[in-house]
Structure 1
Amino acid sequence: MRADARRNRDRIVEVARDLIRAKGYDAVSMDEVARTAGIGAGTLYRHFPTKDALHDAVIEAWADKVNEAVDQAMELDVPARDRLLQWLKDYTAMLTTHQGAAARITASLGVAGSPYEAKCQTYLQANQRVIDALGGQLRPDVQAMQMCRLVGGVAAVADNSELPPEAVSAMLEVLTDGFLAPKAA
């Protein structure tokens, strides 16, 4: 990619990220992104043919953050419950960083060809890493997809409500206890 094209792409992503954080995904139009970025609509659509493709680029950096969060939570020198709870809190925080993302990503889990397929795979793999790291301390029937959907549901509620952080944390504690094997709780 030429340097000027790369600058345009980076500027578009930066502007879109700021607009989505401020207004939410549904309230931001492609025309508004182009106008705010100071580029023409043609330039925008050359880089991102759809709004979903643009949103996917906005949240692309999540993969690195997800993997770092898993590593940090699993390396904590605390009981399994606390490591798991820390991961679920971090996961929820990442899903709610961009308003509306939690519901869209969670609804896209298992949907082949979804614009969020790569992000869904990142979260599935992250949850599988948590399951593998905690081994026999989790219920044997816990699956990565279940974790994604349940935590995604809590994140979507948190993202679309006025719940205080302690209410969200309490829901995540219930999930944590539900994932743990009875002997590890």
Structure 2
Amino acid sequence: MSTTETASPTDSSAPRVGRKKRATRARIVECAIPLFSEYGYDKITMESIAKAAGISRANLYLHFKAKAELVDAMLEQLSPEVVDSYRTLDSLDPADTDRLRRWVEDSSQLWVDRRRQLETLEHALSVEPVVSQRWYQTLSEAADAMTTFLGRYPDGPERQRARLTLVTTMLGFERTLYFVLVRSAPADHSDVIDVLTAQWHAALAGATTPAATHPAATHPG
């Protein structure tokens, strides 16, 4: 008997069911983001998200148990773009400040193009520990993708400090872009780009922070 003859209807329908589930999840996230952005993350309920997506609340809970899971799904979509951006940064010559500035400009454009998603992220970061952990994980993955920079340092504490330099610079970079481009902080955009370029130049071209000497570790003889 052939494989076709023994295959069950369930086998042939499984891919279709999977596609439908993914499409429903994507639609839910797509409908939730503008709600979070317009009304605030804490004010939007799962019921209002279900209504916007055109599904029942019970159906919504089959896909997402809480709002934090919605934001996590959004980050899952966004993270590869963020990691790829920092991988591109790692390929640049730190001394080439013109190209470095263009990278900063391109990265700032991401905050313009993904304004609603990133605004939602910022809202959720303050109230959802799982979202904070997921975003930090994304930046950690981005730092790990910068293998050229990290490869300049021997494995061990020195490389760990170099990695921490990247992550902390990323955190400051992302927060600055949020306040300037999403919250419209009173700062000249061109000046901000110049300062961010200088910060990345210093991080990529300079030495990492040396190990601290803790006074408490020194005992009198």
TM-score (norm 1): 0.69
- Say whether residues 1:44 and 2:60 are aligned partners: yes
- Report how far residue 128 of structure 1 moved: 3.6
The equivalent of 1:34 in structure 2 is 50
The equivalent of 1:169 in structure 2 is 193
The equivalent of 2:168 in structure 1 is 146
- Report how far residue 174 of structure 1 moved: 4.0
- Report how far residue 51 of structure 1 moved: 1.0
Residue 114 of structure 1 aligns to a residue whose secondary structure is helix
Is the Cα contact below 8 Å between 2:29 and 2:74 reproduced in 1? yes
Q: Report matched runs for 1:45-84 at 5 Å.
A: 45-76=61-92, 79=95, 81-82=97-98
Quote the Cα distance in structure 1 between the aligned partners of 2:201 and 2:174: 17
- Report how far residue 34 of structure 1 moved: 1.1
Deviates further, 92-101 or 60-69: 92-101
Q: Report matched runs for 1:89-128 at 5 Å.
A: 89-91=105-107, 93-94=109-110, 97=114, 98=117, 99-102=119-122, 104-105=124-125, 114-128=130-144
Is the Cα contact below 8 Å between 1:95 and 1:155 reproduced in 2? yes
The equivalent of 1:155 in structure 2 is 177
Across the aligned residues of Structure 1 and Structure 2, the Cα RMSD in angstroms comes to 3.8
**Residue segments in structure 1 that go unaligned for 5+ positions in a row:** none
**Residue segments in structure 2 that go unaligned for 5+ positions in a row:** 1-13, 153-158, 208-221
Spell out, residue by residue over 1:19-56, the C-alpha distance to the aligned partner (whole angstroms, 9 max, x if none). 34555544543222211111111211221111111111
Aligned residues: 177
**What's the % identity of the aligned pairs?**
23
Spell out, residue by residue over 1:106-142, the C-alpha distance to the aligned partner (whole angstroms, 9 max, x if none). x69xx9x623433322211212433x32355xxx854
The equivalent of 1:179 in structure 2 is 203
Spell out, residue by residue over 1:66-93, the C-alpha distance to the aligned partner (whole angstroms, 9 max, x if none). 2332343344578454555555555555
Quote the Cα distance in structure 2 between the aligned partners of 1:77 and 1:173: 13
Paired residue type of 1:133: T
Is the Cα contact below 8 Å between 2:41 and 2:124 reproduced in 1? no
Structure holding more helix per residue? 2
Task: Provide closer, same or farther for how the CA distance between residues 181 and 155 of structure 1 changes in structure 2, counting only shifts above 3 A.
Answer: same
TM-score (norm 2): 0.60
